[in-house]
Chain A
Amino acid sequence: MSILLENINKSFNGFKALNNINLTFEDGKLTALLGPSGSGKTTLLRVIAGLELPDDNVNSKILFNDINVANNPVGKRQVGFVFQHYALFRHLSVFENVAFGLKVKDRKIRPTKQEINDRVYKLLSMVQLDTMANRLPSQLSGGQRQRVALARALAIEPKVLLLDEPFGALDAKVRAELRRWLRKLHNDLHITTIFVTHDQEEALEVSDCIVVMNQGSIEQLGSPDEVFHKPATEFVMQFLGDVNVFHARVDKDQALLPANFDYIKDTTEDANATLLVRPHDFDVLVKNDNQPGTFSVKVHRILTAGPFVKIEFINKFNCLVIVHLSHDSYKNILLNPGDKVYLRPRHHKFYVNNKESQSKTEKKVVPHSNQDISIKKILKYLNKARRLRYFKRARSIQLYRKRKNLS
């Protein structure tokens, strides 16, 4: 079943949780709502389920297969909802939990006892819990509770399956396992499924389609590939994966950058700009070949444990630049802390006022040394703020470790 949302607004005590959302979920697809906490993704999920009502009931529309369900109460929408903390009925056994949706049906359409029994055991064997039917929820592990919640939601044969942070409260190993299992389940059942997550890795791995949300609005909608490789906004780029941020300034007719990139702004106003580079998109050069985009850095720290080598560099503004290299390419250069080398991004994104600036012309290249004083001051200020943030974080990590050692 396809779902179409139109003009959905929702505010809580003046706080705008959803800001004019227009969205279509395709039939049979597994969609992830991805965003930081407070971005409105759970609210959107609850609006679809009918657990929250949109603010303006007249202009907003929620269509399930072209039928407006905005005025249908929760129970009439036939959605399977899996809560973040599962919300299992604590006084009922696993069997009774799964059977609940069938047992509360009106007498006329309620299946017989035998039918309910068969259906519940079929669902329980599907989630591999048929041996636990008589246990109480408190006697199950987190992953098992999650699967009971899923079986309970599927018992009413929902047209849409909605999952709120389905793997949030589980440990890393169980999470990875359940992720794969959910994908397989979706391939078997083909129910339109929407799940909420703040974990970009989870969204990229499981879903057919990702909706990236921020502050109640949709930042981008697309396949995992599109969202990762062609981020529409700076926010999406920063949220999906690690990224190095370089602050810059667009001033009158020239773009001023922390290194001599040949970028020309396409706005006529002054604006703050950012240049984003993923850690694996850097070339490390031992010698400066004076190509555009090259800048000098000092090696700060090298971490060789792990699937790739993580190197922390410090640039001349005292900012941290993180670079990921494969072990093979690291073997060719072998750095030591304190070494002076050069970095050049292979790919980068340039955003002015949070919008990507695509225009690349050759005419106005502004070398770094040509910055006037005011621009230098701005850059200095921006970098100081970053540095402060970095030290604050380092300090809090230090404090945390201290506390941990003590206890």
Chain B
Amino acid sequence: MYSVTLKKGLQPPLIINALISIIAIAFLVFFLVLPLVIIFGEAFSQGISMWWASIAEKEALSALRLTLLVAAIAVPLNLFFGVVASWALAKFDFWGRSFIITLIDLPFAVSPVISGLIYVLLFGINGWLGPWLIKYNIQIIFAVPGIVLATLFVTFPFVARELIPLMTEQGSEEEQAALTLGSNGLKTFWKITLPNIKWGLLYGVILCNARAMGEFGAVSVVSGHIRGETNTLPLQAEILYNEYNFMAAFAVASLLAFLALITLVLKLIVEWKSSNNQERA
């Protein structure tokens, strides 16, 4: 009886309930669903063949290739650094630990344009290392290495941010137990640490990959917008749009949106799997 009245007391009146729900749904439709529908609608507005023609164009294909290449370099590197950093930060306590954790968040805190500028100021012709790079004929800014560097910087926190709380919560007791049983450091990492964090790690990698493919600001500063050479998909979409080539711009955008949707589905699967796992644990 007590619990019934309590439940009734907690339930808002029907009108308020409906009003809040409608506002929330309208917000979602307006800001999330509608843009997605418009992207695909515009992209296919002149039929599939025209869409395919815009995608199959040389510059668009090269942009797609570059985007995938950058993600293929940046994601594994950040996977490695992220795991190493969070392992060191979560399993050990040392002086300056919290400072480093804060530092890892730096790429989130700084505007992406600034992070691009950092590299221009470092490696550009008038930058600190510019003269030296010119002497040895190494091109970083306005070339693929610069784009990779900028993407690395921007996507660095994703894996570490995902893993640090998880590993801190799990503690290091299982690793200590493995050591007392005669296991060495490497075996302990492969057999105990990694299996325990695998879902969190995958989740971090998916987010990292989504950002690596979609990054605009930092890449825009360092790429130089050379068509067919240093344009990634987001940059290509912007150029086409600025040239009033709306159909092609939306076609390229739809490609990006499609990649994002795949990422979301993967993320959903990982979330479902890891929550399943947690129920068992």
Return the chain A residue nearest B279 by Cβ. Answer: A138
A153-206 residues with Cβ-Cβ distance < 8 A to B are 153, 155-156
Return the chain A residue nearest B182 by Cβ. Answer: A75
Task: State the CA gap A101–B181 with chains docked (Å).
Answer: 5
Q: Which of A80, A101, A105 has most chain B Cβ within 10 Å?
A: A101
Task: State the CA gap A136–B281 with chains docked (Å).
Answer: 8
- Chain A, interface residues (CB within 8 Å), range: 20 to 34
A104: CB under 8 A from chain B?
Answer: yes
- A89 cross-chain contacts in B, Cβ below 8 A: 174, 177-178, 192
| A100 engages B280 (CB within 8 Å) | no
| B182 engages A105 (CB within 8 Å) | yes
- B187 cross-chain contacts in A, Cβ below 8 A: 104
Tell me which of B180, B184, B280 contacts A49 (CB under 8 A): B180
B196: CB under 8 A from chain A?
Answer: yes
**Interface SS majority for chain B:** helix
Return the chain A residue nearest B196 by Cβ. Answer: A91
Residue interface bits B160-201, CB-to-A below 8 A is 1, else 0: 000000000000011011111111100100011001100000
A268-310 residues with Cβ-Cβ distance < 8 A to B are none
Known: A85-B173, A89-B192, A104-B191. A75 touches B280 (CB 8 A): no
Tell me which of A78, A83, A105 contacts B177 (CB under 8 A): A83
Tell me which of B174, B180, B191, B195 contacts A75 (CB under 8 A): B180
Report the minimal beta-carbon distance from B174 to chain A, rounded to whole angstroms.
5
Tell me which of B174, B183, B281 contacts A87 (CB under 8 A): B174
Known: A85-B173, A136-B280. A104 touches B178 (CB 8 A): yes
Task: State the CA gap A89–B192 with chains docked (Å).
Answer: 7
- A104 cross-chain contacts in B, Cβ below 8 A: 178, 181-184, 187, 191
| B182 engages A156 (CB within 8 Å) | yes
Task: State the CA gap A143–B203 with chains docked (Å).
Answer: 35
A90: CB under 8 A from chain B?
Answer: yes
- A85 cross-chain contacts in B, Cβ below 8 A: 173
| B179 engages A75 (CB within 8 Å) | yes
| B180 engages A90 (CB within 8 Å) | no
Return the chain B residue nearest A80 by Cβ. Answer: B180
A74: CB under 8 A from chain B?
Answer: yes
Return the chain A residue nearest B177 by Cβ. Answer: A87
Known: A87-B174, A90-B174, A90-B196. A138 touches B280 (CB 8 A): yes
Task: State the CA gap A101–B175 with chains docked (Å).
Answer: 12
- A153 cross-chain contacts in B, Cβ below 8 A: 180-181
Task: State the CA gap A111–B199 with chains docked (Å).
Answer: 33
Report the minimal beta-carbon distance from A7 to chain B, rounded to whole angstroms.
24
| A81 engages B180 (CB within 8 Å) | yes
Task: State the CA gap A85–B191 with chains docked (Å).
Answer: 20
Cross-chain pair count, CB within 8 angstroms = 69
| B176 engages A100 (CB within 8 Å) | no
| A91 engages B180 (CB within 8 Å) | no
A101-121 residues with Cβ-Cβ distance < 8 A to B are 101, 104-105
A378: CB under 8 A from chain B?
Answer: no
B198-234 residues with Cβ-Cβ distance < 8 A to A are none
Q: Which of B177, B179, B183, B280 has most chain A Cβ within 10 Å?
A: B177
| B178 engages A90 (CB within 8 Å) | no
Known: A85-B173, A89-B174, A91-B196. A74 touches B179 (CB 8 A): yes
- B180 cross-chain contacts in A, Cβ below 8 A: 49-51, 74-75, 79-81, 153
Tell me which of B173, B183, B184, B281 contacts A100 (CB under 8 A): B183
- A145 cross-chain contacts in B, Cβ below 8 A: none
Task: State the CA gap A15–B36 with chains docked (Å).
Answer: 59
Task: State the CA gap A162–B181 with chains docked (Å).
Answer: 12
Task: State the CA gap A87–B280 with chains docked (Å).
Answer: 16
Q: Which of A50, A79, A87 has most chain B Cβ within 10 Å?
A: A87
| A75 engages B184 (CB within 8 Å) | yes
Return the chain A residue nearest B181 by Cβ. Answer: A101
- B191 cross-chain contacts in A, Cβ below 8 A: 100, 104
Return the chain A residue nearest B178 by Cβ. Answer: A100
Task: State the CA gap A29–B178 with chains docked (Å).
Answer: 26
A152: CB under 8 A from chain B?
Answer: yes
Task: State the CA gap A139–B280 with chains docked (Å).
Answer: 8
Task: State the CA gap A245–B180 with chains docked (Å).
Answer: 44
Task: State the CA gap A377–B195 with chains docked (Å).
Answer: 67
- A91 cross-chain contacts in B, Cβ below 8 A: 195-196, 281
| B176 engages A83 (CB within 8 Å) | yes
Report the minimal beta-carbon distance from A345 to chain B, rounded to whole angstroms.
47
Task: State the CA gap A74–B176 with chains docked (Å).
Answer: 9
Task: State the CA gap A78–B280 with chains docked (Å).
Answer: 32
Return the chain A residue nearest B188 by Cβ. Answer: A104
| A75 engages B177 (CB within 8 Å) | no
Beyond the given A90-B281, A104-B184, A156-B182, could you list 7 further A-B residue pairs with CB under 8 A, ordered by the A residue number? A73-B179, A81-B180, A83-B177, A100-B183, A104-B182, A105-B182, A139-B280
Provide a sorted-by-A list of 26 A–B residue pairs whose CB atoms are within 8 angstroms. A49-B180, A51-B176, A74-B176, A74-B179, A74-B180, A75-B182, A75-B184, A79-B180, A80-B180, A83-B173, A83-B177, A87-B174, A87-B177, A89-B174, A89-B192, A90-B281, A91-B281, A100-B191, A101-B182, A101-B183, A104-B178, A104-B183, A136-B280, A136-B281, A138-B281, A153-B181
Q: Hey, which bits of chain B sit against chain A, CB under 8 A? A: 173-174, 176-184, 187, 191-192, 195-196, 280-281
